[in-house]
Amino acid sequence: MLNRFFLIFIFFGFISCNDQEKESHMLQGEALGTTYSIRYFSDKDFDFEKGLDSIYESINSSMSTYRTSSDISKINRGDTTVRVDENFRKVFEASGKIYKESNGFFDPTVGELVNAYGFGPGKQLRELDSITLDSLRGLVGLDKVSIDKNNKISKEDPRVYLDFNAIAKGYTIDVIGQYLDSEGVENYLIELGGELLAKGENLERGSEWIVGIDDPMQEAAKRELKAMVKLKNNAMATSGNYRKFRVDSITGQKFVHTINPLSGKAERSNLLSASVITDKCMIADGYATTFMAMGLERSKEMLKRLKNVDVYLVYSSEDGEVNTYITPGFQKLLLE
């Protein structure tokens, strides 16, 4: 899947007298192979860190491809006796929704192709001829996988490999948000691996939560922002191949390579990054990956079919210039 690098800026002011009864809390650490940062305001004493650990453990046990004992690892090895939990089912069903909406461009079974081209953690194939490509393509397609009423997974081919990396972090954030909601917390910002969920306000500023989107053209030694965004009661996810684009020697156009799950081929894409805002972080996470795979024009067509989804797309034009495509709803949330 695509590499993600997303710089979060949270701007703080002074606590007003009216908000002093809501204590500010900040938790930072590492989980799910990345870092997290959570700020919330509450006058209630509860063991948030213990709750977080429980959430991370539950999701890792269900969907971590890096844990050999997880349900998804067992399923990928061909174990047909596994009964998946509610976490797995929700992510699987959301993946199926985006798979259908994107006509197959979002596909959690594309991992074998990603590795074959050298874009993933697995071993790259030195020779990828048409016969090998057709063989690998036969293992791709979420429609080859189903889940029954007893939470058992069935695959048309036992070699089909599932990986929810492009959506699981967003789902985890949603679960953390639900946990904070259950504890009566009304103002928080959750960030995990660059994905975000905001509720209420930053009480230290008395305004919306302010976050920043990385500039995909920044130099390796610098961190520069492309835009700043106001979030309140919504989620945002960003996907991009930062600093991994190539340049056409004739036109100067910048592009990245993405895998087309339908053809099995690595294609040039002019989309350099995609930031998506919607109500659930899991869905924003999945759409951000989807748009990167589709490219600008296909993404714009898909957006016409979606409701309550706004985007900030950074793309390279044919003359080599870097431009943005911003939906009206996203434009309203930009900090001037």
Distance of CA 279 to CAs 35, 236, 246, Å? 22, 8, 34
Walk across the sheet containing 234-240 and list its strands: 23-31, 34-42, 187-192, 195-199, 234-240, 271-278, 310-316, 322-326
3-class SS string, 98-137: HHHHCCCCCCCCCHHHHHHCCCCCCCCCCCCCHHHHHHHH
Is position 289 annotated in a ligand binding site?
Answer: yes
Is position 129 annotated in a ligand binding site?
Answer: no
CA 30 centroid distance within chain: 17
CA dihedral 200, 204, 205, 210 (to 10 degrees): -60
The DSSP H or E segment spanning 72 is helix 71-76
In angstroms, the CA 6 to CA 222 distance is 13
CA 164 centroid distance within chain: 10
Is position 266 annotated in a ligand binding site?
Answer: no
Please enumerate, by residue number, every residue annotated as part of a binding site.
166, 285, 289
Please enumerate, by residue number, every residue annotated as part of a binding site for Mg(2+).
166, 285, 289
